Amino acid sequence: MTLPDLEQHFVSLENFGHSLRAPAYVLKPDRAEEIAEAFQLARRTGLSLNARGAGRSYNDAALNGGGIVIELGAMNRILKWNAQTGVVVAEPGVTLQQLWQQVEPDGWWPPVVSGTMLTTLGGCLAANVHGKNNFKVGPIGEHVIQFSAVLPTGAELTCSPRKNADLFYAMIGGFGMLGIFTSVTLQMKRVYSGLLEVSARPSHNLHEHLADLLENAPNYDYIVGWLDATAGGRALGRGQIHAANYLHEGEDRNAARTMRLKNQVLPPRIFGVFPKSIVHFFMTPFMNDLGTSLINTGKYITSLPRHTFRESHAAFHFLLDYIPDWELAYGRAGLIEYQSFLPKETAEAAWREMLALSLRRGLPSYLGVTKRHRPDKFLLSHAVDGFSNAMDFKVTRGNRRELSRLLEDFDRIVVEAGGRFYFAKNSETRRETAARFLGARAIAEFKRLKKRCDPHGLLQSDLYRRLFA
């Protein structure tokens, strides 16, 4: 293929939040050899190349303006599944949805999942995704037995915690900047029911919210908080905590039935009547400061009674998939998700300052989601011994500059509080900020590996150019 042949593949791509656009030459390999050929093409044409899974990153991680993007959705075969050991070998385009639907009927569940099941395994490894159990089991990378990858040099290699360990810990969480995953071997988690036991309770302010996450996490397998970021004053940081445990063997007498797919899949209609696919149209009129403040207040009031209930794994983990295309409700200019990770000692003061600042500037976040985390040993890790808070901001033509200024101020507060960032979310964070939180040693090691794996600098994304190039 030559550059003129490539022209017909030139299409405009967007991030998940629809706040960024970048045209690129999109290729869709369906074998590892075609990835190696794409690298040769990039070398011949002088274009850079980036991988893309399902494009569910909120920011510019899966964009490569003016370059080549290889979409890996066609490499979506589950190559081996062992229902005795729970070990799966899969291609990088396999989605979490395909994965859990393959393993659950046999009594297994993926050890770590993102808040949407539409992500691919390649994207999940590249971001080293965390779940609502990060404090307990770490990120997905800690459950990878090994992976295979193609490097820009054309070399194919296998990495595990013992073989090519430096690349194992750098490529997982490396956002596709060192090589492209071609297969992943992952250990699943044994489960004895298709249901989780969930406890729901309110938190009346930020102090209570974080104290609940901190003190109660050790008693649960999963914990997550919803935060009403539109509430100020004494209610600042109020919200709701959901904490869940697996059921032990024998606790669910209908385990075989609850693990059946038809008892897990999310219903296509709301109240059995409205197709979910049209719900985002009805959300649009409420996506403003007043509308979300009213909705959040209503949600907070209904969350006041403490209760426990049993819920399917899919319903607990993939709440955001209930309403397809919900992000479109944010309007034409889309949304930005800003997720910060703060040590448990500094989180409360920093988020108090950030929440108050966003309210003062008239730029409230419409959704806040908190989690409990622990550190891990991946090179570009976002984790801390503390918490994360993911905040969604509506972008409009009128507020874009002010929003960028707010998020820059957030970055300063987070870095000064010893915090970290997640490269799948924030789109405003700058190179100097990344260098500060990652530290000189991690950056130097990353650059050393980049030189070794990609001597001609072929692997690039908009995110790479923003943060590292």
Ligand X SMILES: Cc1cc2nc3c(=O)[nH]c(=O)nc-3n(C[C@H](O)[C@H](O)[C@H](O)COP(=O)(O)OP(=O)(O)OC[C@H]3O[C@@H](n4cnc5c(N)ncnc54)[C@H](O)[C@@H]3O)c2cc1C
Q: What angle do CA 153, 159, 161 make, to 5 degrees?
A: 145
- Looking at the Cβ atoms of 254 and 277, the one nearer to ligand X is 277
Least Cβ distance, residue 465 to ligand X (angstroms)? 12
Token digits of residue 186:
């992952």
- The residues of the shown chain that bind ligand X, judged by CB under 6 A, are 16, 50-57, 61-62, 72, 92, 114-116, 119-120, 122-124, 126-127, 129-130, 175-176, 180-181, 320, 424, 461
**Least CB distance to ligand X at residue 187 (A):** 18
78-82 vs 49-52, strand pairing mode: unpaired
Distance CA(296)–CA(290), nearest Å, equals 10
Task: With beta carbons less than 8 A apart as the criterion, state whether 239 and 300 touch.
Answer: yes
Nearer to ligand X, 107 or 419 (CB): 419
Adjacent-strand bridge partners of 158: 148
Residue 152 or 194 having the CB closest to ligand X: 152
CB of 68 to ligand X, least distance (A): 12
Q: For residues 241 and 192, what is the distance between their CA atoms, to the nearest angstrom?
A: 24
Nearest by Cα to 200 from 215, 212, 218, 191: 212
Q: Which is nearer to ligand X, 123 or 202 (CB)?
A: 123
Phi, psi of 322 (to 5 degrees): -55, -40
**Residue tagged 């589950």 (tokens):** 78
CA 401 to CA 466: how far, in whole Å?
Answer: 18
Q: Least Å distance between CB 110 and ligand X?
A: 12
Nearer to ligand X, 334 or 364 (CB): 334
CB of 263 to ligand X, least distance (A): 23
> Which pair of structure tokens corresponds to residue 161?
């915690």
Least separation, in Å, of the C-beta of 257 and ligand X?
Answer: 28
Closer CB to ligand X, 72 or 314, in the complex: 72
Q: Which is nearer to ligand X, 50 or 264 (CB)?
A: 50
Residue number with CB closer to ligand X (236 or 450): 450
Residue 146 CB, nearest approach to ligand X (Å):
14
CB atoms < 10 A from the CB of 376, how many?
Answer: 19
Closer to ligand X by CB, 167 or 180: give it: 180
Token output for 444: 């130097």
- Going by C-alpha positions, the residue among 246, 92, 300, 107 that lies closest to residue 180 is 92
Q: Closest approach of Cβ 249 to ligand X, in Å?
A: 28
What minimum distance in Å lies between the beta carbon of 267 and ligand X? 18
Q: Could you tell me if residue 334 is left (phi over 0), alpha (psi between -120 and 50 degrees) or otherwise beta? A: left
In the chain, count of helices (H) and strands (E)?
Answer: 16, 21
Please say whether the beta carbons of 379 and 453 come within 8 A. Answer: no
Beta carbon nearer to ligand X, 17 or 237:
17
CB of 383 to ligand X, least distance (A): 10
Which sign does the torsion angle of CA 449, 455, 459, 462 carry? positive
Rounded to the nearest 10 degrees, how much is the dihedral formed by the CA atoms of 83, 263, 295, 225?
Answer: -30
DSSP conformation letters of 220-269: -SEEEEEE-TT--GGGTT-EEEEEEEEPPTTS-TTHHHHTSGGGTSPPSE
